[in-house]
Amino acid sequence: MAMVKEIMGQPMLGAFCFDASTGLSHLKRGALKHKKFSLFPIFSCSSMLAQELKKGVQVFAKDEESNIALALNPVTLTITGTVTINNSKITEKETMAKILQHFDTSNNTLRGRGLVMQLVSTEFDPRTMEPKLSNRAVLNLFNEFKIGADEMSTYKVEFEIDSNFGLAGAITVTNKYDQEIFLEVISIEGVVDIACNSWVQPDKVHSEKRIFFGNKAYLPWNTPMGLRELREEELRQLRGDGKGVRRACDRVYDYDVYNDLGNPDEGNEHVRPILGTKEFPDPRRCRTGRPRTMIDEKYESPVNASMETYVPRDEAFEGVKKEGLDCEKLKGITRNLIPFFTTCVAKCGDFKQLSDITNIYKRKDLHEIKAEKGKPSQPMDVIRKIYDDVEEYFKFNTPRINGGTDCCIRDEELGRQALAGVNPLSIKRLETFPPISNLDPSLYGAQESALKEEHIINHLDGMSVEQAMSEKKLYMLDYHDAYLPFLKAINAQEDRKAYATRTILYLTRIGTLKPIAIELSLPEGEPSKQVLTPPLDGTSYWLWQLAKAHVCSNDAGVHQLVQHWLRTHSCMEPFIIAAHRQLSVMHPIFKLLKPHMKHTLQINALAREALINAGGIIESDFTSGKYSTHMVSAAYRDCWRFDMEALPADLIRRGMAEHDPTHPHGLRLLIEDYPYADDGLLIWVALENLVRTYVNYYYNDEFMVQSDKELQAWYDEIINVGHADHRDASWWPRLSTPSDLTTILTTLIWVTSVQHSALNFGQYPLGGYVPMRSPLMKKLLPKEEDQEYKDFLEDPKGYLLSSLPNLYQTTKFLAVVSILSQHSMDEEYLGQRALSGWVGDPEIIEAFYKFSIDIRRIEKEIEKRNGDPKRRNRCGAGIPPYELLIASSDPGVTCRGVPNSISI
């Protein structure tokens, strides 16, 4: 194979050695013009020649006349390629069309069909100043079509090239069939592999030829002359013209505002603000171009039964990922049938006792235990088992975190989950007491905290508040500013009641956090602020439990809307769109980022369709309701900064770490057993080392970074188009040096892989027990002068349960977070990636290999930490291990696994 590469990498006249006395007569002008040779017979001409070719030494004819003849009359060669088609991505409808085409020979249906392919050389033809091309080759797939073919089918195709063709660097493909075809890879006699992994549309749908490049990476200025024009053409196709309705078969990446979350045509109740405007800033989304609504043309009409949300064709779920998602959605629908009837039809869906909640989850029955022990079953036992099995099908798996016989979260568990739960990004150190609001007093009134020293002084182990802060013992979950601007509107909704909460937590001697005060705020004009502290009697005990439930509800909303949706899904979408529009697939930075962008646009499109839209899951099941998008926009405006998304910067901003060069990561965590940060720093350092090695391999100095027109266009478009509402922000990192690029890329990969996993895959296992983490609350704390207070005193547990979502809301919520927490069968995890794009770059392959080894080593270190009894936030009686940052995972809901991309 090495010889073949050497031959195709130089003019073919160097591959032959002729004796002038015997072979000259065959080299007269035009004598070889139509003669064809196969590459393979050449290998046997002599071992010496083979050795010379391996060394890259050109072998010439023995006289000048022969050389001239070869140059003027290039030999026509036939080379063989293999084309791999992925049959598993072809639907039954398309398969049937193939079968009909194959057997319908009476009207010559196959005439003119086929995949028309043409190799493109890396070299220019000096006569035409255009890329050298092979002759067109036509591959008729149905000549070899077999019913019941394997998942992958490989076909041979022959190309004719001139002996001075050079190295093939790309191939163009035209699909003459009626159906799209998924190309996996095209390999040319082991000389060049072209990883396609893409759908090719019929030319009657897309007349432009599809362009696929070889696996070798090229920066813009060192792109071979023969590929430069194609490089620009491919990007032009991906950018589109920004007009028209995008079809499912398109592969165009463009921007739009979030104007598709509501539907004015259905009435004012279905109107939502357009996100991505001056009033409601937001990142941009992928443009679909659907028709506008009739009432207000600023809004795009929502999807309907006959129209799915557009994403570029190669971004759509396929194969086992799509099948798995469809299966889980169907399971979720069936599980919600009984709760829907009970709640919406029978009107008896409110929880009245704890068993109403625990019955949602699966249990291990006595008859199953007996069966496991091998005891014979009686006929009635069999009938009962069948009945119970049917009943159990409609139930949910018991989450890893559950309260058992308790209907509320324990103090120590609330503090532990702030460090090792599904939302470890909100906890921050208390540096000013009382806490200060950043809300504009001219809009929201003075927001002075009601927290006083007397509320917490008895819980500080004899320290003053100032001393406790100076010794970094006080921390806070602060949701005041996130909720207060919207509370009046939120609380005006039916069955929605919320506070803006602040929770003060104290760092104990054993490294755990315990809540010592909770401030509950309402809008100005109401009895706006009250402070609760750990209980002293029965009444204060239950009021404290209600206050904690509101804290957890605040946390659930901020986690889902801000930390999860905004900071990972939404804010990363412009980076992905810009990468496809401005970075060629041959660009080394695109190759690095590619696995970290996979399927994110599809997931975000589904979220716009069913999660964050008007009447979607988040509005239905979270306290924020129809004001959820308002909260997202406000958080984007006031809080999101790309320079703070890097793990070290985020930890320092929240006061959870300090610079310390004596520590392995250059940071000292102020809470040593902070599992998300402690484990995360291991991965951050390994990831940063990989990216630094990669960047320095391609960029020797800052001039190379600054003069890379594709790279600079990518970053400029991210800022000025994708995040246009922050285009003037001073905090955007510069992109001038290899070090700048390393930080930007490390942050991107961190957010799309590790940070997203920490926020996503624990949603069901760590947040699926509703009494401990309710997504919404329906009641405020009772007031002594109201009738509710008497009800509360008579049955405090019943009052708390009636404050939680009803049965149908609960099962809908559980069905969704169960789907979101799933790993698919074909998931690719951090440390796993194909390396075919760097076959000629051993330094890069070595760097990826080292990173993979680092990830495996980190997994073992995390497992070791999880077994350390000194680490009380991840080890102990009833304490689950922290596994969210263990990179590998089995399929399903595992509460571990770090996929390469924002994926489910």
How many angstroms separate the CA atoms of 745 and 751, rounded? 10
CB 631 within 8 A of CB 561: yes
CB 763 within 8 A of CB 815: no
SS3 121: strand
- Residues in contact with 187: Cβ distance below 8 Å, sequence separation at least 6, in sequence order: 81, 82, 84, 193, 194
The secondary structure of residue 532, as a DSSP letter, is: E
Active-site annotation holds for 569: yes
Task: Name the active-site residue from 336, 604, 760, 873.
Answer: 760
Task: Name the active-site residue from 270, 564, 580, 587.
Answer: 564
How many angstroms separate the CA atoms of 859 and 4, rounded? 42
Tokens standing for residue 558 = 């901020």
- CA-only gyration radius of the chain, Å: 32
Q: How far is CA 651 from CA 90, 426, 572, 640, 861, in A?
A: 47, 10, 20, 14, 21
HSE, CB side, 13 Å, CA atoms: give it for residue 99: 11
CB 77 within 8 A of CB 168: no
Beta bridge partners of 116: 138, 174
Active-site annotation holds for 756: yes
Q: How many residues are present in the chain?
A: 904
- Residues in contact with 91: Cβ distance below 8 Å, sequence separation at least 6, in sequence order: none
Active-site annotation holds for 580: no
Beta strand 115-125 pairing with 130-133:
antiparallel
CB 898 within 8 A of CB 886: yes
Q: What is the residue whose two structure tokens read 């045509």?
A: 265
CB 555 within 8 A of CB 773: yes
Q: What is the residue whose two structure tokens read 């405006």?
A: 637
Q: How far is CA 690 from CA 198, 536, 694, 884, in A?
A: 28, 54, 6, 21
Active-site annotation holds for 902: no
Q: Which strand (E) or helix (H) includes residue 845?
A: helix 842-866
CB 66 within 8 A of CB 27: yes
Active-site annotation holds for 304: no
The amino acid sitting at 466 is E
How many angstroms separate the CA atoms of 82 and 183, rounded? 11
Helices 842-866, 675-698: axis angle to 10 degrees equals: 170
How many angstroms separate the CA atoms of 483 and 503, rounded? 14
How many angstroms separate the CA atoms of 599 and 315, rounded? 5
Beta strand 36-38 pairing with 76-86:
parallel
Active site residues: 564, 569, 756, 760, 904
